[in-house]
């Protein structure tokens, strides 16, 4: 029996449950459906303070939905989402906005404001939420840019940046106000191997340096294994496995194995559900 808990076990044995006071985020039995289509079913997870937790899964598995629930952009149909002890779905808009000010989020393709320079993009949250003077804003922006190694690109426009640079600028913007929580939506998608390594290292370093908590939604097992503290595997709206990187590497769970090894077929089927091929081929065309 590996240390990875799988769907057959209870997801969390009570003894293993982390101390709630140390949890930055807690999802308690959360279910969510778009219209009638269920996306998440009975998700329970804990993200401890100061740690990096990855939510892994295939495309369209409801990973991004989890981030939207944490950010309060969506409300769960049942269950509860707790961030820093506050129940997100019950927050009034004012309180929700106050909470979001302590969040940073890195969107899938950066989502930099295309009508502003790199400098202005990072200054944006400062200008919107603080009364800092221009000099202080400049110093802070240059500090953030220096942290991601792009101080030299301050005057550039987002359209002039490569994909990896845009991601780093977006990361600098996400940490502009020293958030308590940073969420990463597919930070590794569409990057070359060098940029990939840089982003991975930045996530780890910034998390430790700033003492933030990070949630990384990704399908990139290889990169995640190198940087995260804990992983959840989500498939078809359920958590089917979780564990530390070491236990995941050593896991024998078929789903985890398929994911880590990148096997085309396994618990996640290669074929979309269909009637048997033979019957369909032989069936009448009309």
Partner 1 sequence: MSAELATGVFSWLRRLGATVTGTVGKLGYASRFLIMVLVLSPHAFRRLHLTLREIYFAGVLSLVIILMSGLFVGMVLSLQGYEVLSRYGAGEQLGIMVALSLVRELGPVVAGLLFASRAGSAITAEIGLMKTTEQLAAMEMMAVDPVARVVAPRFWGGVISMPLLAALFSAMGIFGAYIVGVRLIGIDAGAFWGQMQAGVDFWPDVTNGIIKSVVFGLAVSIISVFEGYDAKPTAEGVSSATTRTVVISSLAILALDFVMTAFMFRGIGA
> Residue 260's closest CA among 274, 239, 241?
241
Question: Looking only at residues 153 through 192 of this chain, which bind partner 1 when binding is defined by CB under 8 A?
Answer: none
Minimum distance from residue 154 beta carbon to partner 1 (Å): 19
Q: Per-residue string for binding with partner 1, 14-53, x by CB under 8 A?
A: ----------------------------------------
Q: Which residues are within 8 A (CB) of 187 and not within 5 positions of it... i.e. 6 or more apart?
A: 106, 167, 171, 199, 200, 203, 216, 218
3-state secondary structure of 36: coil
- Tell me the C-alpha distance between 239 and 180, whole Å: 25
Per the listing, tokens 């498939």 go with 235
How many residues of this chain interact with partner 1, rule: CB under 8 A? 20
Minimum gap (Å) between residue 197 Cβ and partner 1? 24
In the chain, DSSP finds a helix count (H) and a strand count (E) of: 10, 11
Task: Encode 135-173 in three state secondary structure.
Answer: HHHHHHHHHHHHHCCCHHHCCCCHHHCCHHHHHHHHHHH
Which is nearest to 115 in space by CA: 166, 159, 57? 159
Identity of the residue, 98 or 209, whose beta carbon is nearer to partner 1 in the bound complex: 98
286 sits near partner 1 (criterion: CB under 8 A)? no
Please, which residue, 105 or 172, has the CB nearer to partner 1? 105
Which of 9, 75, 78, 113 is in the footprint of partner 1 by CB under 8 A?
113
Q: Which is nearer to partner 1, 45 or 112 (CB)?
A: 112
CB atoms within 10 A of CB 274: 8
Is the Cα dihedral 120, 122, 124, 128 positive or negative? negative
Nearer to partner 1, 218 or 247 (CB): 218
Name which of residues 116 to 155 contact partner 1 (CB under 8 A): 124-125, 128-129
Q: Which two tokens stand for residue 33?
A: 């459906």
225 closest CA partner among 194, 246, 208, 202: 246
Q: Which residues within the stretch 79-108 sit at the binding site for partner 1 (CB under 8 A)? A: 97-98, 100-101, 103, 105, 107-108
Nearer to partner 1, 107 or 259 (CB): 107
Q: Minimum CB separation from partner 1 for residue 103, in Å?
A: 6
Which of positions 218-237 make contact with partner 1 (CB under 8 A)? none
Min dist. Cβ of residue 228 to partner 1 (A): 21
**What is the closest distance, in whole angstroms, from the C-beta atom of residue 129 to partner 1 in the complex?**
7
**Binding residue for partner 1 (CB under 8 A) from 43, 112, 150, 191?**
112
Which residue in 211, 209, 204 sits closest to 180, CA to CA? 211
Work out how close the CB of 49 gets to partner 1 at its nearest, in angstroms, rounded to a whole number. Answer: 20
Pick one of 3, 10, 16, 73: the residue that binds partner 1 (CB under 8 A). 73
Q: Which two tokens stand for residue 206?
A: 């910034």
Site for partner 1, rule CB under 8 A:
71, 73, 97-98, 100-101, 103, 105, 107-109, 111-115, 124-125, 128-129
């Amino acid at each position: 029996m590996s240390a990875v808990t799988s769907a057959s076990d209870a997801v969390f044995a009570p003894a293993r449950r982390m101390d709630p006071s140390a949890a930055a985020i807690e999802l308690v039995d959360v279910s969510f459906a778009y219209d009638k289509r269920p996306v998440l079913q009975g998700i329970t997870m804990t993200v401890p303070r100061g740690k990096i937790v990855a939510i892994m899964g295939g495309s369209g598995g409801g990973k991004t939905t989890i981030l939207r629930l944490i950010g309060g952009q969506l409300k769960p149909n049942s269950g509860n989402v707790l961030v820093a002890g506050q129940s997100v779905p019950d927050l009034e808009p004012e309180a929700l906005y106050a909470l979001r000010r302590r969040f940073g989020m890195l969107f899938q393709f950066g989502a930099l404001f295309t009508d502003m320079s790199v400098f202005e993009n990072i200054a944006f949250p400062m200008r919107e939420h603080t009364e800092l003077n221009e000099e202080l804003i400049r110093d802070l922006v240059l500090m953030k840019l220096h942290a991601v190694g792009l101080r030299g690109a301050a005057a550039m426009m987002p359209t002039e940046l490569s994909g990896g640079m845009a991601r780093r600028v977006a990361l600098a913007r996400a940490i502009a106000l020293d958030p308590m929580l940073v969420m990463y939506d597919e930070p590794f998608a569409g990057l070359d191997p060098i940029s990939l390594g840089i982003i991975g290292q930045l996530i780890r370093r910034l998390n430790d340096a700033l003492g933030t908590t990070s949630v990384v939604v990704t399908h990139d097992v290889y990169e995640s294994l190198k940087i995260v503290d804990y992983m959840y595997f989500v498939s078809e709206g359920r958590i089917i496995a979780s564990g530390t990187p070491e236990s995941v590497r050593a896991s024998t769970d078929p789903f985890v194995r398929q994911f880590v090894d990148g096997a085309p077929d396994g618990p996640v089927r290669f074929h979309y559900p269909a009637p048997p091929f033979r019957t369909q081929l032989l069936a009448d065309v009309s």
